[in-house]
Protein backbone atom coordinates (compact mmCIF):
# COMPACT_ATOMS: atom_id res chain seq x y z
CA UNK A 1 0.00 0.00 0.00
CA UNK A 2 1.41 3.41 -0.91
CA UNK A 3 0.44 7.01 -0.15
CA UNK A 4 -2.01 7.17 -3.06
CA UNK A 5 -3.78 4.03 -1.81
CA UNK A 6 -4.01 5.46 1.70
CA UNK A 7 -5.50 8.71 0.38
CA UNK A 8 -8.11 6.77 -1.63
CA UNK A 9 -9.00 4.62 1.40
CA UNK A 10 -9.37 7.69 3.65
CA UNK A 11 -11.56 9.40 1.04
CA UNK A 12 -13.81 6.33 0.71
CA UNK A 13 -14.14 5.59 4.43
CA UNK A 14 -14.59 9.21 5.53
CA UNK A 15 -16.83 10.00 2.56
CA UNK A 16 -14.77 13.04 1.62
CA UNK A 17 -13.18 14.11 -1.65
CA UNK A 18 -9.75 12.76 -2.57
CA UNK A 19 -8.40 16.31 -2.36
CA UNK A 20 -9.62 16.66 1.24
CA UNK A 21 -8.23 13.21 2.07
CA UNK A 22 -4.85 14.18 0.60
CA UNK A 23 -4.78 17.28 2.82
CA UNK A 24 -5.66 15.15 5.86
CA UNK A 25 -2.96 12.54 5.19
CA UNK A 26 -0.29 15.16 4.45
CA UNK A 27 -1.26 17.12 7.57
CA UNK A 28 -0.94 13.97 9.68
CA UNK A 29 2.50 13.14 8.34
CA UNK A 30 3.67 16.75 8.77
CA UNK A 31 2.37 16.75 12.35
CA UNK A 32 4.25 13.52 13.14
CA UNK A 33 7.45 15.01 11.67
CA UNK A 34 7.00 18.17 13.74
CA UNK A 35 6.34 16.12 16.88
CA UNK A 36 9.53 14.12 16.34
CA UNK A 37 11.55 17.31 15.93
CA UNK A 38 10.18 18.95 19.09
CA UNK A 39 9.23 16.15 21.50
CA UNK A 40 11.24 13.27 20.00
CA UNK A 41 8.24 10.95 20.54
CA UNK A 42 4.81 10.58 18.95
CA UNK A 43 2.42 7.96 20.34
CA UNK A 44 -0.74 6.83 18.55
CA UNK A 45 -2.63 4.61 20.99
CA UNK A 46 -3.64 1.34 19.36
CA UNK A 47 -1.27 1.89 16.43
CA UNK A 48 2.24 2.45 17.78
CA UNK A 49 4.82 5.05 18.66
CA UNK A 50 7.53 6.87 16.74
CA UNK A 51 10.66 7.99 18.56
CA UNK A 52 14.05 9.50 17.74
CA UNK A 53 17.11 7.47 18.67
CA UNK A 54 20.79 8.36 18.44
CA UNK A 55 22.92 6.04 16.36
CA UNK A 56 26.59 6.09 17.38
CA UNK A 57 29.42 6.63 14.95
CA UNK A 58 30.88 3.39 13.64
CA UNK A 59 33.17 1.87 11.04
CA UNK A 60 31.75 0.34 7.89
CA UNK A 61 33.14 -1.18 4.71
CA UNK A 62 32.84 -0.11 1.10
CA UNK A 63 31.34 -3.26 -0.48
CA UNK A 64 33.17 -2.71 -3.78
CA UNK A 65 36.67 -2.14 -2.44
CA UNK A 66 36.52 -3.53 1.09
CA UNK A 67 37.98 -0.23 2.33
CA UNK A 68 37.09 0.76 5.91
CA UNK A 69 35.02 3.94 6.06
CA UNK A 70 33.80 6.01 8.99
CA UNK A 71 30.04 6.43 9.37
CA UNK A 72 29.04 9.55 11.30
CA UNK A 73 26.72 9.51 14.31
CA UNK A 74 23.16 10.53 13.50
CA UNK A 75 19.58 10.46 14.67
CA UNK A 76 17.13 7.92 13.25
CA UNK A 77 13.38 7.39 13.60
CA UNK A 78 12.28 4.19 15.32
CA UNK A 79 8.75 2.75 15.19
CA UNK A 80 7.33 0.41 17.83
CA UNK A 81 4.01 -1.11 16.81
CA UNK A 82 1.21 -1.29 19.36
CA UNK A 83 -0.37 -4.60 20.31
CA UNK A 84 -3.50 -4.14 18.11
CA UNK A 85 -1.24 -3.52 15.09
CA UNK A 86 0.85 -6.59 15.93
CA UNK A 87 -2.32 -8.66 16.22
CA UNK A 88 -3.61 -7.38 12.85
CA UNK A 89 -0.44 -8.58 11.13
CA UNK A 90 -1.03 -12.19 12.21
* Tens of pLDDT, residue by residue, the chain (90 residues): 999 999 999 999 999 999 999 999 999 999 999 999 998 899 999 999 999 999 999 999 999 999 999 999 999 999 999 999 999 988
* Termini Cα distance of the chain: 17
Amino acid sequence: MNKKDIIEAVADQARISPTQAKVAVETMTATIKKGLKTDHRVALVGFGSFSVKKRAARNGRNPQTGEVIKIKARKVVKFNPGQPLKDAAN
